[in-house]
Amino acid sequence: MNATTGGVPFSFSRLLIVAGNTFTEAVRQKLFNFLLLLAVGLVASAQFFREFNFGSSELKFISDFGLGAMVFFGSTLTIAATAQLFFSEIENRTALTILAKPIWRTEFIFGKFLGVFAVIGVFCALTTLLLAGLLCSRENSLMALHPDAFPNGRLIHYGDLMVMGVLQWLKFGVLAAITLLIASFSNTNLYTVVMSFFMLVICHLQYLAHDAYAQVASLPLRLLVRMLGYVFPNFQVFNLADQVAIGSGLDAGVVLRVAGYALVYIAVIGGLAVYSFRNREI
Amino acid sequence: MTPAALPLAIEIKNLTKDFPLNLRGVKLRAVENLTLSVPEGRVFGLLGPNGSGKSTTIKIILGLLEPTVGECKVFGVPSGRVDSRLNVGYLPEAPYFYRYLSGTELVCFYARICGVPRKRLDERVREVIDWVGLSGAAQRRVGTYSKGMLQRIGLAQALVHDPRLIILDEPTAGVDPVGSAEISELILKLKAQGKTVLITSHLLAQIEDVCDRVAILDRGKLILEGDVNELVGQRDRQALIVDPLSPEQLDELRGWLAARGHALNAVEQPRARLDQLFISRVSRPDKGGQK
Amino acid sequence: MKFNLLALRPLRAGTVVLATLLIAGWAMRPLEDPAWQAVRAGQPALKLDSLQGALGQGVTVGLLGGFRAIAADFFWIKTNSVWSDYDLPATQTLIKLVTAIDPRPLYFWQNGARMIAYDMPNWRVAEAGGYDVVSTAMQQQIEHEQSAVAIKYLNEAFGYHPDSVQIYLEIGNVYLNRLKDLNSAAEYYHKAALRSDAPYFVARIYAELLRRQGRNAEAYDWLKKLYPTLPKPTPPGLVQPAKNQPSALEIEMAMAPVVLGRIREIEKELKIPEYQRFKP
């Protein structure tokens, strides 16, 4: 898109206005309410694990279930919120009003994206902090009860936990971009949600295609499988820090690469969403 | 001044819009070879039955749809370009806005999108909300607004950046006679300010009251265009409205007219229009708590 | 033919999207590969053949999709519930399922082996009528069988945790506590003690196991080699560089004075002349 020939230059502040409005919608439509439910669930499950006398391994259970809940609910929130916040504009025809203003569709789409990304950011930050708080308080009491189980001090790598929160946020960012891309050409909210979940599964499992292509004998088939592996982002790379309770530290270089991987994908897929949305007749 | 001599707000040439229905070539032609000009400073009515291509034409003017063939310019700028919309305000048909924002927040949002400078923002938003008569409800969530209020807040957002061209798509659809009379008043005020207004409607009586010029579309084709007075005024006739005359006086008048080569064609009791009667009797509805 | 092109626009758009994604995926290999290798290194391959029968399709997809840890946790909780019902076949199956799903946490291996070696013999004896009814020979046979299962299970753990101190100790403990096989227990304690990350007590217990078998000379040699490696409190008046100073906890755990005491005990037992005695 040539931002200058139109006489109205691309404006980041307009993009932020759309993002701010999207975020306000999420807040006022009470999308965050279920966070409370999630928090109660996490605390309750942490309480539940005490029943089993796992000792210091109780921390592993809390962190596994906490991260699992974050991944599961985060994915659901990302897809549902992106589709909802996009289609509320289309279905309520507010897109008509806003796109009739001097605004680029790029600003609109990336504004929508940034609004959703901020919503997921708040979700990830709150969930990570809640989980860290839960783990820390339980670790303190376990350390007081069984000091011998903590010969090297704390078991939980809280830094890794924070990195995990950020990586999940970035992954949800890619997922939100994918959902926007699907929404940009799809006609219904439901189709978008179903397709996005489908994509989520594919992106988690695409490494199997990578693995499989090596074993396929025929060349055309091998090429096809290999290409499929390239078409979908590999979501498994974001699981870099999923073992915060028994992990052995993270390589900052690898973390930065994963972050770069996510950001490039967000830009590329977001750009494709703009391309597809420009063809859409409102 | 004739329309041709005025600078043009909208210029549509040989515009055709097709919607593909399937890959085998079945298509829906929504607008066919439309050529139309809207001069600046006029109130222009785009009329036609449902499905005649009015909304499609408006969407093309706003750059929401791309023409299949032909061109469309707004103040000389092709309508596909973002800057063609710099001086355009648009009120969609049956508008539905972000329910979770208050009236002020909503208008403020659109004002910022349109680049109203920050230091003028609050003042300008207050001004237009006041202008459409919604000051009392400005802090209420839009979700609680009635249809008429939605129409008025829609008008406020369309006007907030002080555009030169205002496009109103069926502004009175679903609004009661009082509300639609108010909208007519607002349109006339806009005209007095020198704005160009493009208005679509299938309620012809209303259009007739406010429009200078109309075009009628049917099945995507332009079937009639011209000044309202030219189209509906009967220039070879005149009506006189007088106090009641007795039959003798009426006969005398006939004689007087016949001596001068004129005929008295009809004698009728003039009737007030029902909507005017309604408006004069019904109390003005609540304007959202305004004094 | 303007119209046909119009109708084909979605196809064209789809092609552009796919092609762009393909190029992006290919171009991002340098970013993806190192991260993917790192993730792969932390995730042992799933043995799907052994799992598919036990799990439904949904769970299998979940496992492949990165929910292994949580699935293993879930089945471990299930293991605990069948364990509290003394359900031997179910417990044994679930223990193996858990480590097949996620072999990374040592906790599963250790506690699974303990259930097999220490709890299950009691269940089997109780089922056969109790310790009063079942003959000692039969009891021993049950203990041997269960211990063999546990040791075989723990040996599988080495596939994922090569040379793990904890696993060596776990096997050593089964020999020591269940089978009373001091020789084998000592062998595993020795393997554990040779690891640099072994806790200090392992080396001391290894020496004790040797002594209990009457292998005093071996124990003596071992402790003599061990003592100089242990962190000791700084003698008063001597200032050590702060950098290499062991922590108070470390010094306490190393129990150097206790080790020296053992050395002296063995020297007495072995009647080692004064001049040949160990000089720290």
- Non-local (6+) Cβ contacts of A94 within 8 A are A88, B96, B97, B98
Does some domain include residue A1? no
Does some domain include residue A229? yes
Asked if B87 and B160 touch (Cβ cutoff 8 Å), the reply is no
Cross-chain CB nearest to A93 (options B77, B92, B112): B92
With beta carbons under 8 A apart, name residues in chain A contacting C21: 230-232, 268-269, 272
With beta carbons under 8 A apart, name residues in chain A contacting C253: 151
Q: What is the DSSP letter of A219?
A: H
Res A241: pLDDT? 65
Interface test with B, best of A25, A96, A101 (most B CBs within 10 A): A101
Neighbours of C89 (CB within 10 A): 8
Mark yes or no for CB contact C104/A243 under 8 Å: yes
Cross-chain CB nearest to A205 (options C25, C38, C64): C64
Q: How many Å lie between the alpha carbon of B22 and the closest alpha carbon of chain C?
A: 7
User: What's the pLDDT tens digit per position in B258-267?
Assistant: 999 888 888 8
- Non-local (6+) Cβ contacts of C155 within 8 A are C171
The mean pLDDT value for A5-24 works out to: 88
A251 touching C (Cβ < 8 Å): yes
**Total count of residues recorded for chain A:** 282
Mark yes or no for CB contact C7/B20 under 8 Å: yes
Asked if A173 and A203 touch (Cβ cutoff 8 Å), the reply is no
SS (H, E, C) chain C: CHHHHHHCHHHHHHHHHHHHHHHHHHHCHHHHHHHHHHHHHCCCCCCHHHHHCCCCHHHHHHHHCCCHHHHHHHHHHHHHHHHHCCCHHHHHHHHHHHHHHCCCCHHHHHHHHHHHHHHHHHHHHHHCCCCCCCCHHHHHHHHHHHHHHHHHHHHHHCCCCCCCHHHHHHHHHHHHHHCCCHHHHHHHHHHHHCCCCCCHHHHHHHHHHHHHCCCHHHHHHHHHHHHHHCCCCCCCCCCCCHHHCCCHHHHHHHCHHHHHHHHHHHHHHCCCCHHHCCCC
A-C interface: how many C-beta pairs under 8 angstroms?
Answer: 111
Burial label for C162, CB within 10 Å (0-12, 13-18, 19+), is exposed
Asked if C240 and C215 touch (Cβ cutoff 8 Å), the reply is no
Alpha carbon B282 to its chain's center: 24
Chain C positions touching chain A (beta carbons under 8 Å): 9-10, 13, 16-18, 20-22, 24-26, 28, 31-32, 34-36, 38-39, 42, 61, 64-67, 69-70, 73, 77, 80, 104-107, 199, 253
Q: Which residues of chain C have pLDDT under 70?
A: 1-7, 47-58, 236-244
Mark yes or no for CB contact A6/B83 under 8 Å: yes
Region label for C86, one of left (φ > 0), alpha (ψ between -120 and 50) or beta (otherwise): left
The closest alpha carbon to A173, from A114, A248, A246, A223, belongs to A114
Mark yes or no for CB contact C6/B18 under 8 Å: yes
Q: With a cut of 80, say whether residue A21 has pLDDT above it.
A: yes
Q: How many Å lie between the alpha carbon of C9 and the closest alpha carbon of chain B?
A: 10
Averaging pLDDT over each range in B1-15, B170-184, C57-71, C110-124, which range is the top one? Answer: C110-124
With beta carbons under 8 A apart, name residues in chain A contacting C35: 237, 240, 254, 257-258, 261
Res A243: pLDDT? 65
The closest alpha carbon to C62, from A145, A242, A201, A259, belongs to A201
Percent of chain A clearing pLDDT 90 (strictly above): 48
Which residues, listed in sequence order, are joined to residue B29 by a DSSP beta bridge? Answer: B18
Q: How many Å lie between the alpha carbon of B284 and the closest alpha carbon of chain A?
A: 29
d(Cα C71, Cα C65) in Å, to the nearest integer? Answer: 11
Does some domain include residue A200? yes
Cross-chain CB nearest to B82 (options A97, A104, A282): A104
Q: Residue A23, SS3?
A: helix
Mark yes or no for CB contact C66/A235 under 8 Å: yes
Mark yes or no for CB contact B22/C7 under 8 Å: yes
Tokens describing residue B242: 């007088």
B28 touching C (Cβ < 8 Å): no
Q: With a cut of 60, say whether residue B83 has pLDDT above it.
A: yes
Res A151: pLDDT? 72
With beta carbons under 8 A apart, name residues in chain B contacting A8: 82-83, 86
- CA closest to B18 among chain C residues: C3
Q: What is the DSSP letter of A236?
A: G
With beta carbons under 8 A apart, name residues in chain B contacting A97: 90, 92, 95, 97, 110, 154, 157
Res A176: pLDDT? 97
The closest alpha carbon to C196, from C219, C161, C165, C162, belongs to C165
Question: Mean pLDDT across chain A, nearest whole number?
Answer: 87
CA dist list (Å): C157 to B247, C100, C168, C188, C216: 120, 10, 10, 15, 33
d(Cα B196, Cα A86) in Å, to the nearest integer? Answer: 33
Does some domain include residue A118? yes
With beta carbons under 8 A apart, name residues in chain C contacting B22: 7
Res A58: pLDDT? 85
- CA closest to A12 among chain B residues: B113
Cross-chain CB nearest to B110 (options A101, A104, A282): A101
A275 touching C (Cβ < 8 Å): yes
Q: How many Å lie between the alpha carbon of A248 and the closest alpha carbon of chain B?
A: 47
With beta carbons under 8 A apart, name residues in chain A contacting B77: 7
Q: With a cut of 70, say whether residue B129 has pLDDT above it.
A: yes
Mark yes or no for CB contact C65/A204 under 8 Å: yes
The position carrying tokens 């996510």 is A262
d(Cα C125, Cα C120) in Å, to the nearest integer? Answer: 9
Consecutive H or E run containing A156: none
Mark yes or no for CB contact A65/C9 under 8 Å: no
DSSP chain B: --GGGSPEEEEEEEEEEEEE-STTS-EEEEEEEEEEEEETT-EEEEE-STTSSHHHHHHHHTTSS--SEEEEEETTEETTSGGGGTTEEEE-SS----TTSBHHHHHHHHHHHTT--HHHHHHHHHHHHHHTT-GGGTTSBGGG--HHHHHHHHHHHHHTT--SEEEEESTTTT--HHHHHHHHHHHHHHHHTT-EEEEEES-HHHHHHH-SEEEEEETTEEEEEEEHHHHH--TT------S---HHHHHHHHHHHHHTT------------HHHHHHHHSPPPP-SS--
A258 touching C (Cβ < 8 Å): yes
Percent of chain B clearing pLDDT 90 (strictly above): 52
User: What's the pLDDT tens digit per position in C31-47?
Assistant: 888 888 888 877 777 76
User: What's the pLDDT tens digit per position in A140-171?
Assistant: 988 888 877 777 778 888 888 898 899 999 99
With beta carbons under 8 A apart, name residues in chain C contacting A253: 34
Cross-chain CB nearest to C34 (options A231, A247, A254): A254
**Band of pLDDT at residue B208, cut at 50, 70 and 90:** confident
With beta carbons under 8 A apart, name residues in chain B contacting A92: 96-98
Neighbours of A13 (CB within 10 A): 10
Query: CA geometry: angle at A127 spanning A124 and A131, to 5°?
Result: 135
**Band of pLDDT at residue A75, cut at 50, 70 and 90:** very high
Consecutive H or E run containing A50: none
With beta carbons under 8 A apart, name residues in chain A contacting C104: 243, 246
Q: Residue A281, SS3?
A: coil
d(Cα C16, Cα C89) in Å, to the nearest integer? Answer: 56
Q: With a cut of 70, say whether residue B289 has pLDDT above it.
A: no
d(Cα C109, Cα C156) in Å, to the nearest integer? Answer: 9
Q: With a cut of 80, say whether residue B11 has pLDDT above it.
A: yes
Tokens describing residue C117: 């070696």
Asked if A100 and B88 touch (Cβ cutoff 8 Å), the reply is yes
Residue ranges making up the domain that contains A233: 12-278
The mean pLDDT value for A243-265 works out to: 81
Tokens describing residue A116: 């959703």
The position carrying tokens 């007087």 is B256
Does some domain include residue A2? no
Asked if C256 and C232 touch (Cβ cutoff 8 Å), the reply is yes
Cross-chain CB nearest to C31 (options A227, A260, A271): A260
Domain count, chain A: 1
What's phi and psi for A248, nearest 5 deg?
-125, 40
Which residues, listed in sequence order, are joined to residue B72 by a DSSP beta bridge? Answer: B12
d(Cα A31, Cα A85) in Å, to the nearest integer? Answer: 10
B228-241 exposure pattern, b = at least 16 Cβ within 10 A, e = fewer? beeeeeeeeeeeee
CA max distance for chain B: 76
Mark yes or no for CB contact B25/C8 under 8 Å: no
The mean pLDDT value for A18-36 works out to: 88
Cross-chain CB nearest to A102 (options B19, B83, B98): B83
Cross-chain CB nearest to C22 (options A231, A254, A260): A231
Does some domain include residue A43? yes
Mark yes or no for CB contact B20/C2 under 8 Å: no
d(Cα A118, Cα A121) in Å, to the nearest integer? Answer: 5
Q: Residue A167, SS3?
A: helix
User: What's the pLDDT tens digit per position in A205-230?
Assistant: 888 777 777 677 678 877 888 888 88
B121-146 exposure pattern, b = at least 16 Cβ within 10 A, e = fewer? eeebbeebbebbbbbebbebbbeebe
Q: How many Å lie between the alpha carbon of A24 and the closest alpha carbon of chain C?
A: 31
Neighbours of chain C (3+ CB pairs under 8 A): A, B
CA dist list (Å): A140 to A40, A144, C87: 21, 6, 35
pTM: 0.86
Res B19: pLDDT? 87
Mark yes or no for CB contact C13/A276 under 8 Å: yes
Which alpha helices (DSSP H) does chain A contain, by range? 12-28, 33-49, 58-91, 94-99, 105-145, 158-185, 189-213, 219-231, 252-278
With beta carbons under 8 A apart, name residues in chain B contacting C4: 23, 25
With beta carbons under 8 A apart, name residues in chain B contacting A96: 59, 64, 92
The closest alpha carbon to A120, from A19, A1, A246, belongs to A19
What's phi and psi for C163, nearest 5 deg?
55, 30
